[in-house]
Structure formats: C-alpha cells, structure tokens
Structure 1
Amino acid sequence: MSAPVGQLTELSFKAIGLLILTILCFDVMSILVRVLSASYSAQELSAYRNVLGILPSLALLIWTGELRFKASSMKIEKWKLAIGRGVIVAFAQLFFYSALAQMELATVATLGQTNAFFVVILSVVYLGEKVGIWRIVALIIGFAGVVWILRPGSDAFSLTALLPIGAAACYGFAMVSVRKFGPNTSNALLYLYSSFGSALGAIALATFTTEFSPIHSIADGLLILLMSTIGGTGVLLMMIAFRMDSPSVLAPFWYFGILTAGLFGWLFFGEAPLDTLFPGVLLIVGAGVLIIWRERKRT
C-alpha cells in the first residue's frame, strides 16, 4: 500500500532506493551506448537492447512462477495495446540512443525530464483528465526552460536536440497507457508483451533504416549484452518501485538523474555543459516540482 501523503514509511524508503537503482541502471546503459556508438548505429543498439532486454522479463516470470507454457496463462487483456506500447518504446529508444551518440549525457537527461509534461498532456488527450490552472502554468514554465536550452534560431540550435524530447513524448505515452490496464493484469506479463512489441519494432526500424554490422569482438558482444540486461533490469526496478508507493512520493527523485548523468558525463567523457543547461534546467525542474506539489495537494 502507498504511504499517506506527506508521510514516508519503510516501504517508501525501499521504493525510493529501487528508483535510485533504476536511475543508476539507466546511467550505466547510457554510458555503454555512448561507448558502443563509435562502432554501431543507434538502430542496431536499439534492436539488440530490445531483443536481449526480454531476458529480465522472462527471469521475473520464472521467479514469480507465472511462466507456464499454456496459452490461457499467458493471455492478458488489451494485448494489442500492450504490444503497441512496446512499439512506441522502440521509437523512444531509437531517439534516445541517437541523442546519446551526439549530445552530452546531462543535456539528454535534462531534456528527457520533459516526460512529465507529456504525461500531463497525454492524460488529457488520451485519458480525458481535466487540467487545472496550476498544471497549465507548470507546462508554460517547463516549455520556457526547454526553449532556453534549445535556443531555436541561434547557431547553437540543432535538430538533434529534439531527439530526447521525442523520446520523452514516446515514453510519456507508454507511462500513461499503463492506466488502461486493470489491476489484475500481471506486471511481468505486461512487460513481456511490451518487450516483445519493442523487439519487433526495433528490428523493423533497423531493417528499413540501416544495415546490421557484425559484432566486432567478444568484448563488444559482452558490452551489448550488459547494456541490454541492465536497461531491462532498470525498467523492472522502476515498475516494482511504482507498485510499492505513490508516484507523487517517487517522482521528485527522478531529478536525481540529472545530477548523476552530469557526474558520469564529466567522469567518463569530460563533459560539463553548464552554459547550455542553465538557467533552462531550473525552469524544467521547477515546473516538474510544481506539478508534483499540486498532485500531492490534491491527493
């Protein structure tokens, strides 16, 4: 059960710990993508990630005892939507990996925080939720922060900077569409269906947009396997964390990812894009915090 608003329980701290582990998993995956991007295209890496990323979902099914080779036990409601979510995630990962190959980790992580704004917008369009004045103000503030970082019309602007925002939009749909599934739908089975859809989507995108190159060495193969399994594990940890406690409790800790991405970008790649990020990052974070604060007040 979720903790009452404003109160953190032992379960809350466990969920927060899992979320921080999730962020670290995504950071390690991002570092490996950057390293592997020197030899492999974003399409290839996305395909490998989604095919091999099924392994953590299978491991969870075995652990929970839900992996039974009977058609009836593997069915879920709205299976087409579950697979469709996976295809959308394949687009998200292609955008995300393409951005990682060309931009600083901290910049990608910061622009990825626009996910919160797309969740709000899609909640209205897709779920029919109402938006109050506070959410509208937060969206305007966050949009101003994004424009400040992107600097459209200046020499610093590039279409590449739109890639993490496109990824955030796709991930936002994946998050919002989860609400279409009832409480009886197994997390493990839902993730398996979505992973299958992601694998199909990523393979199709790679097939039509690039040519697969052979894996150059055993070391590369191990790095690709590590990237895929760590990314898949991060998604599972995130799912478990959000099942343990309320999103309004956990959401502020997502911004920890901006700090860790900046730290890892500096340690591994010598990046320090402070001039690019400030003060736009403050507006994005402030807008997200405003949305979270308002949601907690309404709960």
Structure 2
Amino acid sequence: MNTSRAILLKLASVAGFVSMAALIKAASDGVPPGQAVFFRSLFAIPVILVWLYLDGNLKRGLRTKNPLGHLWRGLLGTTAMGLNFSALGLLPLPEVTAIFFAAPILTVIFAAMFLGEQVRAFRLTAVGLGLVGVLIILSPRLTAFSEGDVSTVQTLGAVLALMAATFAALAKIFVRKLVGIEHPATIVFYFSLTAVCLSALTFPFGWAWPSPVEMTFLVLAGVIGGVSQGLLTTAFRHAEAALIAPFDYASMLLSLLIGYFIFAEVPTVPMLAGAALVIAAGILIIWRERQLGLERGKGRQAMGPGGQ
C-alpha cells in the first residue's frame, strides 16, 4: 500500500472530473446534452484503450462474460450522465455537484431494495441526514418550498440533477453485480462504448454543429474524463477504498472555486448548508461500510461521477 500516492491519484481524478464538468457546462449553451455525452464518451475511448494497453489489461478489458449486464449498466449510466449534463446547463456548477452527492445515499436505499443488504439504524440515520441536506439544497428551486417566484428553468435543473443522482445510484447497483464476474477495466470500457451508441440515438432530436471553441471543450472533456477514470482506478491499487473514498468530496471545494472564478456563480447559504449535511452523511456511510466490511472498492473503480 502507498497511501500518499493513492490520495494524490484520487485528488487528481476528482480535479479532472470537475474540470470535465466545467468544460461541458461551458459548451452547454450551443451543444445539446445528448451530443455532449456522445463526444465526452467518444474521446474517452482512445484514452481508455491506451491505459488498458499500458496496464497490461487490454485483452482482459475487451473480453466480457455478461454483455446484457453491461447494456443495462450503460443505459442507466448514460441516462445519469445526460441528465447531469442537462442540469449543468441550467444550474450553477456547485449546486449540481452538491445535489449529485445524493447518489451514494440513494445507493444504500437501492442496495437494500434490490440486493437484499441489511440497513440498520446507523446507516438509516445517515441516509435520513443526507436526504434532509438534499431537501435544503433543493428548497429554493422548488416553488412549493420558496417564497416568491422561482424560475422554471431553475426548477427543471434541480429536478434533472436529482434524477441524475437517482439513475447513477441505480447504475451502481448494476456495477456491484458486474464486479463479481468482470474486471473493472471491462466495465469502464463497455460503459464508454455503450454511452457512445446510446447518445448517438439522440441526434435526430437535437444536433448542433459545435463552434471551434465548443469542439475544443468537448474533446478536452472526453480526454480528461478518460484520464480521470484511469487515475481513479489506479488509486484503488495503492490504498483501501474506504480510505480514499471520502476525497470524492473535494469536488465540492473545486466546484465552488471554478463556479465563482470562471462562471461568476456565488454559492447560496442553503446550498452550502445542504451540501455540508450531504457530505457528512456520505462520509458516515463510507465509515460504517468499512466497519461492516462491505466491499465497495471494485465498484468505485468502475464508476466516475455521474456514472461517468
């Protein structure tokens, strides 16, 4: 084990995924979400193939025992990515990031529903704390909880972000099933391939020729996303999953900095308060899973933010 290297790799992957989200957001005015998913996934594939080759896992990564499982995981993960990219075009980057932190919390609920995992009082309390945090973040965006008028665009963005978290949590359930028979490299590769094919189906409903600047953003998003996935998977080889998983939440700080300095997005008090509760709940769940000896490492290797 090399804990310091693992943490550095994890933080580098987190920075990459946040930068990727910022690039997608920057291109969102002129590029439909489905098209953004297509380019992000397409340009990640060469990076993933090179990573697999250098890692000595190219043949293993291309061989699958469960193509139908990859299809379902790809369908859910691609939907989560598309919804997340849609939300990025409608809401501030830190707010989308904070809402998406609901995914690990929802995964606990879905694991109990679909995998038969026992969820006792401690994790139930953490789940409840996280859901309260999500409601605090969402409250200013939903007419039913706000004073005065709320932009329909903002309300839609909040709903899309929460739906993205839900689909990402469902995708993680399928990843947990796949890791029992598939190598993480296989899951990463076939997700990108499935995302390219599925997102291409959206072209008849919305296609826009990207400007040179937008195309640059999309290519960079794909390349950075692929590199970040490789860094993430490599990080888990140097330390236990439970040790480095909490560093996912560094993305909140990075999102706040990028949102403020690049997009002039000023965080609100409800967003910060809600995010603090959701992050606390997520860390408590990770800590409790470590205490219970639940194996999440391989699943986390095969999942980036947003099912990406």
Task: Give the TM-score category using the shorter length.
Answer: 0.7 to 0.9
Measured in 2, the distance between the counterparts of 1:120 and 1:232 equals 27
Q: Deviation at 1:267? A: 0.9
**Percent of counterpart pairs with the same letter?**
27
Residue of 204, 207, 213 corresponding to 2:203: 207
Q: 1:167 — aligned with what? A: 164
Residue of 141, 144, 158 corresponding to 2:132: 144
| Secondary structure in structure 1 of the residue aligned to 2:261 | helix
| Secondary structure in structure 1 of the residue aligned to 2:242 | helix
Q: Deviation at 1:216? A: 2.5
Q: Does 1:253 find its partner at 2:256?
A: no
Q: Deviation at 1:93? A: 1.1
| Secondary structure in structure 2 of the residue aligned to 1:158 | helix
Equivalent residues of 1:60, 1:188 under 8 A apart: no
Structure 2 residue ranges without an equivalent (≥5) = 294-308
Name the aligned partner's letter for residue 64 of structure 2: I
Measured in 2, the distance between the counterparts of 1:196 and 1:102 equals 27
Equivalent residues of 1:50, 1:202 under 8 A apart: no
User: Structure 2 matches for 1:226-245, cutoff 5 A?
Assistant: 226-245=220-239
Give me the CA root mean square deviation: 2.2
User: Structure 2 matches for 1:1-299, cutoff 5 A?
Assistant: 11-67=2-58, 74-151=62-139, 152=142, 153=144, 154=146, 155-156=149-150, 158-182=155-179, 185-204=182-201, 206-210=202-206, 212-217=207-212, 219-299=213-293
Measured in 1, the distance between the counterparts of 2:57 and 2:245 equals 29
Q: Deviation at 1:15? A: 1.6
Name the aligned partner's letter for residue 11 of structure 2: I
| Secondary structure in structure 2 of the residue aligned to 1:271 | coil
| Secondary structure in structure 2 of the residue aligned to 1:269 | coil
CA shift in 2, pair 1:126/1:243, >3 Å: farther
Q: Deviation at 1:73? A: 8.5
| Secondary structure in structure 2 of the residue aligned to 1:245 | coil
Q: 1:3 — aligned with what? A: none
Measured in 2, the distance between the counterparts of 1:172 and 1:239 equals 19
Measured in 2, the distance between the counterparts of 1:88 and 1:150 equals 23
Name the aligned partner's letter for residue 123 of structure 1: A
Equivalent residues of 1:91, 1:167 under 8 A apart: yes
CA shift in 2, pair 1:185/1:195, >3 Å: same
| Secondary structure in structure 1 of the residue aligned to 2:262 | helix
Which deviates more, 44-53 or 107-116? 44-53
Equivalent residues of 1:83, 1:198 under 8 A apart: no
Measured in 2, the distance between the counterparts of 1:278 and 1:75 equals 44
TM-score by length of 1: 0.87
Measured in 2, the distance between the counterparts of 1:73 and 1:136 equals 36
Name the aligned partner's letter for residue 135 of structure 2: V
Equivalent residues of 1:29, 1:228 under 8 A apart: yes
Equivalent residues of 2:69, 2:178 under 8 A apart: no
